[in-house]
Amino acid sequence: MDMNENKRRRSMLLYVLIAIIAYLAISQALGTNLTASRVTPVEYSQFVHMVEKNEVTQAESVYGNPEITFTTGEGDSQKLYTTVLWNGTEESTAQLLDDHGVTMVSEIQDTSSDLWLMLLVSYGLPILIFLGIGWWLNRRMKKAMGDDGPSMNFGGGGFGMGGGLGKSNAKEIKGEDTGVTFKDVAGQDEAKESLQEIVSFLKNPEKYNEIGARCPRGALLVGPPGTGKTLLAKAVAGEAGVTFFQIAGSAFVEMFVGRGAAKVRDLFKQANEKAPCIIFIDEIDAVGKRRDSSLSSNDEREQTLNQLLSEMDGFDNHKGIVVLAATNRPETLDQALLRPGRFDRRIPVELPDLAGREAILKIHADDVKMESGIDLGVVARSTPGASGADLANIINEAALRAVRFGRRRVTQEDLLESVDVVIAGEKKKSTVLSPHEKEVVSYHETGHAIVAAMQKGAAPVSKITIVPRTSGALGFTMQVEEDEHFLTTRQEAKDKIAVLCGGRAAEELIFNEMTTGASNDIEKATQLARAMVTQYGMSDRFGMVQLGQPASRYLGGGQQLTCSEGTAQEIDAEVQALVEEGHQTALRTLRENRFKLHEIAHYLQKKETITGDEFMNILTRDDGFAPKMPTPTE
């Protein structure tokens, strides 16, 4: 028997139930009204008078009820009356009726009909209203889905109206309609190479079947936000020209138990009908979190995960169904989900390197009108650690700035300013520093720049500004690496800590005072020193021992110590010593270059923003106070 027949039977049963409830309520009401309309109420004295005149032929009473119903006449002339006994007249009334030969009928009150009516009103009416609302919602949902047939869905682990709640609601896109191919993705060459084999299988499954190879059932894309995981999934569908089903992991988690599992079944059913195809589950950690026995576990989510595991085991991947999923929290996923046979490949989608950033900028720059001679390499070098989304935003901010200044094309200045906007925010025109605060900020930023210039192998200073930004920064010093570095030595890490301490050191040296302007510098210096001790094995006291591990690596979740409380206290002391060493290095460097510190700070205070070339010209100018520059590292 098909599902439509079952739906029709359930609907018919529901309508019969509604009709019975309505009939009983109406019958009870009509019966009471008809009886009341034939009975004539009279006073007790008139009743006694009619009995004494032998007009009463029969009297009825109900035990416990003071009312008496009596009849006069016979046949067509018969009439029905009712009266109420006075208190204490029950025995005398009974004797009066007996003396005049009136037939008396007495019975115990039957409250069953009243009970049924009470039950109907108390329970039947609310149920009737609830079912009526459900039927109306069901009709509305059916019409929205293009189906007017009535249905009421009972079961599936919960009560719900309409068949739409079990639908996956995945966005279905034809491969060519994604508008994305691998040429639209830059900076992720390794990821594209790993996914190219999936594209090849979807295009030509025969050559893989011939040798006995099977297509990977799934591939998990992991990486920080904004690196292009969704873009890569769409590019696979665009390259292969197959149907693309896109759904978020949170869309599976429902309030009603069993609905998430129903959505998973429906999604794979659709995929099986449209094979070959790609199923893309974004943010799969919403439904694929590790199962445990804690009180915070979610039964609905675990049932949905179990159904997902079952479906990924059960589908025939010879048809060409590939499941792609993306997450930036892979450490929270259930191990059963990650094993081969479900997600056979784990593809890192990391932040792009220097060449990757420049390639991404070129792709987004093609959509924007730019002046000739634009150097995107400068922007790429100025944005270490930027994701693809950040770089796209930089190009867009540059275009918006060009329009704001009435230009038809983007200039190099627009691009460099957009880098500052994305990193530190817009210029905050409403913030006006007092002359003393402006002087303090000038010395603070100059202190960073001089300490950075004095370190061997440090990234050269490219810009110094004391213009307040919307991020809360009152100024910043930008350093730009000439080349990409993938390793950091212990000495380089110490030098970075010294540069971060340069601002506070300048304040102490010149003003003999401390301000809150160094809070972000202190935070970064402490984080770097703690990582040297707990992760990088760069501690003299602890050596090559890992004392902490990163939490939420791709979301910047910091570190979690994996050591005893006593060791944690020793770690704090070691971190404090490393930061203090950098602080003393910064103080010593600025004392040795005190006159250059004054000169550059005063120049910065007047101009507010200076370039790296201006800074280096003043620093290296031989005016009797030129510093001894460090020799390049070999």
Residue 367, domain CATH: 1.10.8.60
Q: How far is CA 113 from CA 24, 122, 150, 168, 311, in A?
A: 10, 14, 34, 49, 55
Counting the structural domains of the chain, the total is: 3
Q: Is 445 a catalytic residue?
A: yes
Answer yes or no: are the C-beta atoms of 439 and 399 closer than 8 Å.
no
DSSP state of 75: G
Last-in-domain residue among 303, 332, 348: 348
Dihedral class, residue 110 (left if φ above 0, else alpha if ψ from -120 to 50, else beta): beta
Residue 248 lies in a domain: yes
Query: Is the domain of 360 the same as that of 344?
Result: no
Q: Are residues 214 and 253 in the same domain?
A: yes
**Residue 331 has what DSSP assignment?**
G
Among 396, 423, 450, which residue terminates a domain?
Answer: 423
Measure the CA–CA gap between 607 and 23, rounded to whole angstroms.
91
Q: Identify the helix (H) or strand (E) that includes residue 314.
A: helix 299-314
136 inside domain: no
Write out 145-214 in H/E/C secondary structure. CCCCCCCCEEECCEEECCCHHHCCCCEEECHHHHCCCHHHCCCCHHHHHHHHHHHHHHHCHHHHHHHCCC
CA distance 420 to 465: 10
pLDDT of residue 39: 75
- Structure token pair of residue 314: 């059960």
Q: In 10 A of CB 629, how many CB atoms? A: 12
Q: Are residues 463 and 596 in the same domain?
A: yes
Q: Is residue 164 part of a domain?
A: no
pLDDT of residue 585: 95
Task: Give the H or E element holding residue 477.
Answer: strand 476-479
Query: Which pair of structure tokens corresponds to residue 282?
Result: 């974004």
Q: Are residues 183 and 246 in the same domain?
A: yes
For 7, 9, 267, the CA distances from 4, given in Å and listed in that order, are 5, 9, 21
Residues 567, 463 share a domain = yes
Q: Which two tokens mark 612?
A: 């790296």
Q: Are 83 and 70 in contact (CB under 8 A)?
A: yes
Q: What DSSP string runs through 224-279?
A: STTSSHHHHHHHHHHHHT-EEEEEEGGGG--SSTTHHHHHHHHHHHHHHHH-SEEE
CA angle 110, 114, 117 (to 5 degrees): 150
Question: Catalytic: which of 445, 507, 508, 574?
Answer: 445
What is the number of other CB atoms lying within 10 angstroms of the CB of residue 33? 9
323 and 367 assigned to the same domain = no
Question: Which of 329-348 are b and which e, b meaning 16 or more Cβ less than 10 Å from the residue's Cβ?
Answer: bbeebbebbeeeebbbbebe
Reference 24, options 123, 160, 107; nearest CA is 123
Is residue 19 within 8 A of residue 132, CB to CB? The reply is no
Q: Are residues 389 and 371 in the same domain?
A: yes
Is residue 337 included in any domain, yes or no? yes
DSSP 352: P
3-state SS, residue 406: coil
For the chain, helix (H) and strand (E) counts, in that order, are 21, 18
Contact at 8 Å (CB) between 141 and 153?
no
Read off the CATH number of the domain in which 253 is found.
3.40.50.300
Strand-pair category, 476-479 with 277-282: unpaired
At residue 599's C-alpha, the angle toward residues 598 and 602, to 5°, is 80
Q: What was the pLDDT predicted at 152?
A: 39
Mean pLDDT per 10-residue segment, the chain (634 residues)? 55 65 58 56 79 80 71 76 72 75 66 57 62 66 46 38 55 78 89 88 82 83 91 90 88 69 87 87 88 63 85 73 90 87 88 91 92 90 89 93 92 90 79 88 94 82 87 85 82 94 95 92 93 89 83 74 87 94 95 93 92 90 57 34
For residue 590, the enclosing domain spans: 435-620
Q: Which of 199, 233, 228 is nearest to 216 (CA)?
A: 199
Same-domain pairing of 342 and 364: no
- For residue 155, the model assigns a pLDDT of 37
Question: What's the token pair of residue 516?
Answer: 């809150």
Are residue 317 and residue 449 in the same domain, yes or no? Answer: no
pLDDT at 101: 75
Tell me the β-bridge partners of 477: 464
Kindly state whether residue 593 falls inside one of the protein's structural domains: yes
Q: How far apart are CA 321 and CA 217, in angstroms?
A: 7
For residue 105, list its beta bridge partners: 60
d(CA 242, CA 274): 9
In a domain, 517, yes or no: yes
Residue 7 maps to a domain: no
Which tokens belong to 49?
A: 């008078």
* Placement of tokens 């190009």 in the chain: 395
Separation between Cα atoms, residue 484 and residue 491, nearest integer Å: 18
CATH number at residue 583: 1.20.58.760
The amino acid at residue 245 is F
b/e sequence 507-532, b meaning 16+ C-beta within 10 Å? bbbbeeeebebbeebbeebbebbbbb
Same domain, 341 and 363: no
Looking at 289, 315, 348, which one is the last position of a domain?
348
414 and 454, same structural domain? Answer: no
Residue 28 lies in a domain: no
Provide the pLDDT for residue 102.
76
Residue 409 and residue 330 in one domain: no
